Amino acid sequence: MSAASGPGIDVADYRDVWVFVEQHEGEAAPVSWELLAKGRELADETGESLVALVVGDGVAHLAEEAVARGADRALLADDPVFEPYRADPYGEQFRALVEARKPSIVLIGGTHTGRDFAGRVAVPAHAGLTADCTELAVDEEGLLLASRPTFGGSAMATIKCPAHRPQMATVRAGVFDAGEPAEPTENAADAVESVEVVVAEEDTLSTVLERVVGGVVDITDADVIVAGGAGCEGDVTPLVELAEALGGEVAATRAAVEEGWVEPARQVGQTGKTVRPQLYIAAGISGAVQHLEGMNGSDVVVAVNTDPNAPIFEHADYGIVGDLHEVLPALTAMVREKQEVAA
Amino acid sequence: MNDGWNIVVCVKQVPDADDVTIDPDTGTLNRSDAPAVLNKPDHNAVESALALRDAVGGTVTAVTMGPPPASAVLQAAVAAGADGGVLLTDRAFGGSDTWPTSLALARAAEELDADVVICGEESTDSSTGQVPPGIAAHNGWAQLTYTESLDPRPDEGVLVGTRDVEGGYERVATALPVVVAMVFGANDPRPAGLHRKIFAETEFEPVQWTAADLGIEDRVGLVNSPTKVGGMDTASPVERERTRVDSVEALYDHLAEVL
């Protein structure tokens, strides 16, 4: 199949798997390494090279780490214009690199930064871009099969990009495993190529006036999550105490976040985070599909709800009908008691 | 720029997501013929557009792409306070993925001489969030995605947005024109006024533009969409025990195995 319209490209000119290494102030976003590990698998299958794309200011160490983590090569665009992240200079640099080097596949983290970047750079490349993929594979012709849950998570749609390149996909944090971090080998630097920076500060369209990060929890790392919904009725203390006793984190539905009971960074679901803890306790959560989508990958799900017919019970391993304001404190007391005995 | 800004707000008609549940046995959607409504995050976009007009003056024009019934979402925007609406409608648009969709909206924004284009965070039916940065990219304009609030500086021709970024926020000043995507829930949309509502329902007629009107008849539709749906599989429903317990002790015993 040829590109009937669009850029009229020859897809055979495009090869290699690229991973965009998202970083802020020299620190890589964890999803970058998860994608690098997945990209390694895909590149091995297509027999192509895995290339890390590292853009920033003073980020050569990340290019070397990418090589240590399995990239065959790293492309490094290192310049003050790239810190902090802005869509327009990153987009312009990416456009130039794609034109010159023609990657076949590009993987990008499904963070706010990654989605901002992916949406911008897919357009000039006339690339196919699939958002929030949960499975990535290649078919016998080397085409990327990018699968994502469709609305509500009831079905998986597999998206292909037969006639356009690159084939781009974003993937949320926590979907793939990063593997073990490796020490940079002595010759890692040899596999890093500094590329020409094509953006000048005076050509940019935006200025970051202030950037305040840190001190915000990352619930995607937690092994245990105690999540609350509308049933909290303004009191999340039982969640906090149980999470503390279990060494876990508090999370919430969109409804609880909108009420202001729990901070937005802890929201699970379609417009929040995707989590896969060992234990997910859903308290006072009815089980709307938008929420289920964000927690369905949890190992064990517990539901606590006053409504015996709440849909969440159908998506839980263990369910108890009751008020979370009674059930959770009782459970917390029991957990603490056993811990004391054990101590 | 002292006579106000041309503000364009992009809206989308989607199936109402509120009553949709998953059948746990089959993994299929119980959609009960969900009615078509204005995409929820777009309510925040409309509110931001109206608030921006309150602050700097100018006009708010709602734009949507879709078949003629989609003009219902333009009506909703006009009822809320938008000055006018444009329906991009053409068989040629059929099957467009986010690439041609953002091209059509970008061309419309250009035709409307937009200073600021405001969108919702993403649509609830396809949830890619790719259209707002796509519009910006097609036109070579600045972009502000995941925006929580806007601070216009009309004297400087600058829009400052506070963006939600992982682990915090950032404030970014952009040149005009700029494409903004508001965070879902960023504001409290104002209710439609009665007179405005009556006007929207009885007198308002959207302007209609075809692909040819926008000069993009050869660049839209399925054939110009890089992505193709290669297959649909029913997602295997996650197997759960679905064990009901009747006491906290029994629950603890199950959890002790996990912990």
Residues A54 and A179 in one domain: yes
> Mind listing the pLDDT tens digit for each residue in B191-210?
999 999 999 999 999 999 99
CA distance A168 to chain B (A): 10
Nearest Cα to Cα of residue B227 among B80, B96, B129: B96
* Complete edge-to-edge strand list for the sheet that includes strand B243-244: A249-252, A224-228, A279-283, A300-305, A318-321, B243-244
Instruction: Supply the pLDDT for residue A197.
Output: 98
Residues A274 and A181 in one domain: no
Residues A102 and A180 in one domain: yes
Residue B45 lies in a domain: yes
Taking CB atoms and an 8 Å cut-off, how many pairs form between chains A and B?
278
The span from the CA of A244 to the CA of A342, in Å, is: 17
Residues A193 and A284 in one domain: no
pLDDT at B30 over 70: no
Question: Can you say how many angstroms the Cα of residue A112 is from the centroid of all Cα atoms in its chain?
Answer: 9
pLDDT at B102 over 70: yes
Nearest CA in chain A to B218: A5
Of A170, A203, A236, which one is at a domain's C-terminal end? Answer: A203
Q: Are B142 and A90 in contact (CB under 8 A)?
A: no
The answer to whether B149 faces chain A, any CB pair under 8 Å, is no
The span from the CA of A125 to the CA of A117, in Å, is: 13
Residue B172 lies in a domain: yes
The span from the CA of B31 to the CA of A27, in Å, is: 43
Residue A279 lies in a domain: yes
Residues A184 and A266 in one domain: no
The answer to whether A339 faces chain B, any CB pair under 8 Å, is no
Residue B239 lies in a domain: no
Residues A280 and A167 in one domain: no
Q: Which residues of A touch B27 (CB under 8 A)?
A: 154-155
What is the tally of structural domains in chain A? Answer: 2
Residue B237 lies in a domain: no
Residue A243 lies in a domain: yes
Quote the pTM value: 0.87
User: Which is it for strands B21-22 and B29-30: parallel, antiparallel or unpaired?
Assistant: antiparallel
CA distance A186 to chain B (A): 33
Percent of chain B with pLDDT over 90: 80
The CATH number of residue B177's host domain is 3.40.50.620
Per residue in B91-101, is it b (16+ CB within 10 Å) or e — as a string? Answer: ebbeebbbbbb
Instruction: Supply the pLDDT for residue A6.
Output: 47
CA quadruple B38, B43, B48, B51: dihedral sign: positive
The answer to whether A254 faces chain B, any CB pair under 8 Å, is yes
Residues ≥6 apart with Cβ < 8 Å to A242:
A226, A248, A281, A328, A329, A331, A332, A335
Q: CA dihedral defined by A302, A307, A309, A311, rounded to 10 degrees?
A: -50
Q: Which of residues 301-330 of A touch B (CB under 8 A)?
A: 301-302, 311, 313-321, 327, 330
The pair of structure tokens assigned to B99 is 């690439």
> Mind listing the pLDDT tens digit for each residue in A251-301?
999 999 988 899 888 999 877 888 889 999 999 999 988 898 889 889 999
State which residues form the domain around A177.
11-203
Which of residues B257 and B219 earns the better pLDDT score? Answer: B219
Q: Which of residues 30-69 of A touch B (CB under 8 A)?
A: none
Q: Which helix (H) or strand (E) element contains residue A320?
A: strand A318-321
Instruction: Supply the pLDDT for residue A241.
Output: 96
Phi-psi region of A318 (alpha: psi -120 to 50; beta: other; left: phi over 0): beta
Residue B243 lies in a domain: no
Mean pLDDT of A17-46: 96
State which residues form the domain around B110.
5-229
Q: What mean pLDDT, rounded, does chain B reach? A: 92
Of A203, A228, A243, which one is at a domain's C-terminal end? Answer: A203
Residue B253 lies in a domain: no
Looking at the predicted complex, does its ipTM rise above 0.95? no
Residues A31 and A68 in one domain: yes
Percent of chain A with pLDDT over 70: 96
Of A148, A176, A203, which one is at a domain's C-terminal end? Answer: A203
The pair of structure tokens assigned to A111 is 């963070």
The CATH number of residue A258's host domain is 3.40.50.1220
Residues A68 and A195 in one domain: yes
CA distance B82 to chain A (A): 26
The span from the CA of A102 to the CA of A16, in Å, is: 8
- What DSSP state is assigned to residue B189? P
Residues A257 and A194 in one domain: no
Nearest CA in chain A to B18: A288
What band does A153 get if pLDDT is binned at 50, 70 and 90?
low
> Mind listing the pLDDT tens digit for each residue in A68-126?
999 999 999 999 999 999 999 999 999 999 999 999 999 999 999 999 999 999 999 99
Residue A308 lies in a domain: yes
What is the tally of structural domains in chain B? Answer: 1
The CATH number of residue A169's host domain is 3.40.50.620
CB-CB: which of B121, B125, B146 is closest to A151? B125
